[in-house]
Structure 1
Amino acid sequence: MNSITIPRPDDWHLHLRDGAMLEGVIADSARHFARAIIMPNLVPPVVTGDQAAAYRDRILAALPEGMAFEPLMTLYLTETTDPDDVAAAVNSGLVKALKLYPAGATTNSDSGVRDFDKVVPVLERMAELGTPLCVHGEVTDSDIDIFDREAVFIDRVLDPLRRKVPGLRVVMEHITTSDGVAYARSGGPDLGATITTHHLIINRNHILVGGIKPHYYCLPVAKREEHRLALVDAATSGEPTFFLGTDSAPHPTDLKENACGCAGCYTSPNTMSLLAHVFEAENALDQLAIFASQNGPAFYRLPVNDDVLRLTKRDAPVAFPATRETGAGPVTLFDPGFDLFWEVETT
């Protein structure tokens, strides 16, 4: 198969940042994706409906003329989030989900949740509304090894929380382990899971072998090869539980190549080429549309996009820029370490 046409995909986990960075990276997402769930971990975070509306307006203002792209807004869940404000924002059509960050789990998560009992009233209202809770699934306890944080979160936090609030619709974002895959598969129609592009390609050796590779450092951190293979199996399975969320996270290169480098991989420009490579290797190109274009809309109760995206396999490697220049500084593009031959053609 040398070409494949799929409904235009969506990105169900995207960081666009704000200001000059937003202006520099928005086109990379809008070029290939029709919609994206926008992460709210700005400084300060997006915690109210009014703040979400203002952020959406800034995103649309930064969108280059002639590009079509719909930002799907989220609210950052805090221990003081007002259930009535959530309901108003959801009922207006503005907000599609809330985001749960355990405090300190990742970039700009200091305002996140420490006492999960304090957010139960909001979660109960969300269950009534059918509004998904997008979960960064890691504990932050200092005595838990960073490679075990996802599995421990499932046991200590996620499963008890879902039992406490039956009917709550949850997205396990950027799962990285076979434990996450297994739990997502067992969760029924109210549980979904996003998988990133980079976690389908790298394991922890890519970060550490032969010297520290800061542009492969992300949170949740990449795990052992056996976990990567479990993610590939889930993504290419066609199962409705799993869908694409790139977690594309732009940081200026100097803040990645740093004594305390930022976590995140910038994958928006080459995600679709990378996915075609992975799916072809698994003889699963026929499942790509399901993962990238169909399962996400189904979980979020939205229609599949009418527009299409065509991928064509070239004889020569596709050229991608090493960096994306922005007003906030250059951003280094995720490099898989091998040539890519699948090229995107939008129609």
Structure 2
Amino acid sequence: MTHSLTLTRPDDWHLHLRDGAMLTGIAPETARDFGRAIIMPNLVPPVVTAAQALAYKARIMAALPEGSKFQPLMTLYLTEKTDPDDLAAAHASGLVTAAKLYPAGATTNSASGVQNFVKVQPVLERMAAIGMPMCVHGEVTDADVDIFDREAVFIDRVLDPLRRRVPDLKVVMEHITTAEGAAYAKSDPGKLAATITTHHLMINRNHILSGGLRPHYYCLPVAKRETHRLALLKAATSGNPSYFLGTDSAPHTDDAKESACGCAGIFSATNTMSCLAEVFERAGALDKLEGFTSLFGPKFYGLAPNADHITLTKGAEVEFPSYISTGAGPVTVFNPGIDLHWKVTD
């Protein structure tokens, strides 16, 4: 029986750090276990220029614990007015790793996102030419499309046609939630990949709705049926490099979650590695955990894996704080609903 597991230090390829007092409170939770993370740009106002990305990176670095080696990988928020030259210069300098496309209104702070995808084609063509990946929140926002169908419809109506128009563009389908997403993500290796969150490997829509409305399980894209969770689990544990970890850890204060119109987002930075070790062990796939968390993401982004390692140890049930105190207010930590026995010990 395995009681200790040493992995190349993992990276998080989809992370929300917010800003201000929230950033200061939650940044150390990711920096503890992860070497790097793709930082989401959906602040208010969003990070749309190189100058804004540089300033935001400085704020992140100031929020890290003393001596931390964590590296934030910055992104720009794509709009219909994005300057291709500014974007290309930011990428060439090493400041910005990728750009994020939000369909307008799809999720938290996405009001400035894209409504007309034709208008961003010149920017996408420039990104394809310079090898800059596009991260995409893959949901349509049409009122006539059921919220549980929005990811599958986005692939058919938006993403596949977009990729046919700009075939050399590298695309990361972020936080996939469906069997359709998992199938499409592996259809063009090297040009297309997907991140999978910790929570979507562990919860389905019953966790949100069964026995009462449970706002701390509400996220976007919303968790789907159990059949889709199992498809994601099969993908994550397959050893296929088209899938890698992006937690989409997204902090909101408890009062913002527990309200008449609660915010979408699950905060999992604190216990993600314990959760994943438990999930992969139960699936008989502990040998696939390092690829998913530490190797496949860097490979897609053209980066070397982290040089150092972490060790997880299995023992008695691990307890985590129920919430993280921040200057903005308490942030509830993801409750996986099962006992965890793996803990990062080194």
Any unmatched runs of 5+ in structure 2?
none
Deviation at 1:187, TM superposition (A): 2.2
Cα RMSD for the two superposed structures? 0.5
Any unmatched runs of 5+ in structure 1?
none
Task: Give the percent of matched residue pairs that are identical in Structure 1 and Structure 2.
Answer: 70
1:275 aligns with 276
CA distance in 2, matches of 1:188, 1:331: 37
1:344 aligns with 344
2:72 aligns with 71
Deviation at 1:345, TM superposition (A): 1.6
Output the amino acid matched with 2:137.
H
Deviation at 1:188, TM superposition (A): 2.6
Three-state SS of the structure 1 residue aligned to 2:343 is strand
CA distance in 2, matches of 1:33, 1:115: 36
1:261 aligns with 262
Match status 1:25 vs 2:37: no
Match status 1:62 vs 2:63: yes
Output the amino acid matched with 2:105.
G
Structure-to-structure mapping, 1:172-321, within 5 angstroms: 172-314=173-315, 316-321=316-321
Name whichever of 51-60 and 336-345 sits farther off: 336-345
Output the amino acid matched with 1:213.
R
Three-state SS of the structure 1 residue aligned to 2:120 is helix
CA distance in 2, matches of 1:25, 1:186: 36
CA distance in 1, matches of 2:117, 2:179: 25
CA distance in 2, matches of 1:66, 1:117: 45
1:119 aligns with 120
Tell me the alpha carbon deviations over residues 290-312 of structure 1, each in whole angstroms, 9 at most, x when there is no partner. Answer: 00000000000000011101111
Output the amino acid matched with 1:136.
H
Tell me the alpha carbon deviations over residues 280-325 of structure 1, each in whole angstroms, 9 at most, x when there is no partner. Answer: 00110000000000000000000001110111101x2111000000
Tell me the alpha carbon deviations over residues 234-268 of structure 1, each in whole angstroms, 9 at most, x when there is no partner. Answer: 00000010000000000000110111000000000
CA distance in 1, matches of 2:319, 2:151: 35
Output the amino acid matched with 2:35.
A
Q: Provide TM-score, normalisation by structure 2.
A: 0.99
Tell me the alpha carbon deviations over residues 98-126 of structure 1, each in whole angstroms, 9 at most, x when there is no partner. Answer: 00000000000000000000000000000
CA distance in 2, matches of 1:114, 1:173: 19
Output the amino acid matched with 2:250.
A
Match status 1:103 vs 2:81: no
1:147 aligns with 148
CA distance in 1, matches of 2:80, 2:138: 17
CA distance in 1, matches of 2:219, 2:314: 29
Match status 1:15 vs 2:16: yes
Structure 1 runs, 4 residues or longer, greater than 4 Å off: none
Three-state SS of the structure 2 residue aligned to 1:186 is coil
Deviation at 1:166, TM superposition (A): 1.3
Three-state SS of the structure 1 residue aligned to 2:345 is strand
Name whichever of 16-25 and 337-346 sits farther off: 337-346
